[in-house]
Chains A and B, each alone.
Chain A
Amino acid sequence: MSKPVDLKALERQAYLTYHGDGIIDLFLGFVIVWLSVLAVILPEFFIFLVGSFVALFPSYTSAKKSFTIPRMGYVEFSATRQWKTKQLFVVINLVTVMGVVLGLLAWLVPLVSAFIVTYFLLILGGAGGGVFLLIAYVTGIKRFYGYGLAIFSGFVIAFLFSLSVLIPLCSLGAIMITYGSVLLYRFTRKYPKGERDEAQEPY
Chain B
Amino acid sequence: MSEETTPPQIPIVDDIDRVIHEPARLIIMSYLFVLNKVDFLFLKQQTKLSWGNLSSHITKLEEEGYLEVIKKFVDRKPYTLIQLTKTGRMAFEAYQQQMKHMFEGLNP
User: DSSP majority for the B interface?
Assistant: helix
Q: Which residue of B lies closest to A74 (CB)?
A: B39
Q: Which residues of B contact A (CB under 8 A)?
A: 26-27, 30-31, 33-46, 51-52, 55, 58-59, 69, 71, 74-75, 79-81
If A199-B51, A200-B51 touch, whether A11 touches B40 (CB-CB below 8 Å) is: no
Contact of A7 among B33, B38, B52 (CB under 8 A): B33
* Contact between B36 and A7, CB atoms less than 8 A apart: no
What size tier do the contact residues of chain A reach? 20 to 34
A10 contacts the other chain (CB 8 A): yes
A sample of 11 cross-chain residue pairs with beta-carbon separation below 8 angstroms, ordered by A number, consists of A5-B27, A5-B30, A14-B35, A14-B46, A74-B74, A75-B38, A76-B37, A76-B38, A202-B58, A203-B71, A203-B80
Chain B residues with CB below 8 A from A74, complex form: 37-39, 41-42, 74, 79, 81
From 127 to 157 in chain A, residues with beta carbon under 8 angstroms from any chain B beta carbon are none
Chain B residues with CB below 8 A from A199, complex form: 40-41, 51
A186 contacts the other chain (CB 8 A): no
* Contact between A191 and B45, CB atoms less than 8 A apart: yes
If A14-B46, A203-B71 touch, whether A73 touches B36 (CB-CB below 8 Å) is: no
Contact of B36 among A69, A77, A196 (CB under 8 A): A77
* Contact between A73 and B75, CB atoms less than 8 A apart: no
A84 contacts the other chain (CB 8 A): no
Closest chain-A Cβ to B13's Cβ sits at a distance in Å of 17
* Contact between B42 and A72, CB atoms less than 8 A apart: yes
| Contacts beyond the supplied A73-B39, A74-B74, A75-B37: 5 A-B pairs with Cβ under 8 Å | A7-B33, A65-B74, A74-B41, A76-B36, A200-B55
Q: Which of A17, A73, A191, A195 has the most CB of B within 10 A?
A: A73
- Complex Cα distance A75/B42, Å? 7
* Contact between B35 and A76, CB atoms less than 8 A apart: yes
A109 contacts the other chain (CB 8 A): no
Closest chain-A Cβ to B20's Cβ sits at a distance in Å of 11
Closest chain-A Cβ to B11's Cβ sits at a distance in Å of 17
- Complex Cα distance A7/B27, Å? 10
Chain A residues with CB below 8 A from B59, complex form: 202
Q: Which residue of B lies closest to A2 (CB)?
A: B23
- Complex Cα distance A77/B34, Å? 8
* Contact between B55 and A72, CB atoms less than 8 A apart: no
Q: Which residue of A lies closest to B39 (CB)?
A: A74
Query: What 0/1 readout, one digit per residue, does chain A (99-113) give for beta carbons within 8 Å of chain B?
Result: 000000000000000
- Complex Cα distance A196/B37, Å? 17
Chain A residues with CB below 8 A from B35, complex form: 11, 14, 75-78
Closest chain-A Cβ to B57's Cβ sits at a distance in Å of 11
- Complex Cα distance A196/B36, Å? 21
* Contact between B34 and A73, CB atoms less than 8 A apart: no
A55 contacts the other chain (CB 8 A): no
Chain B residues with CB below 8 A from A78, complex form: 34-36
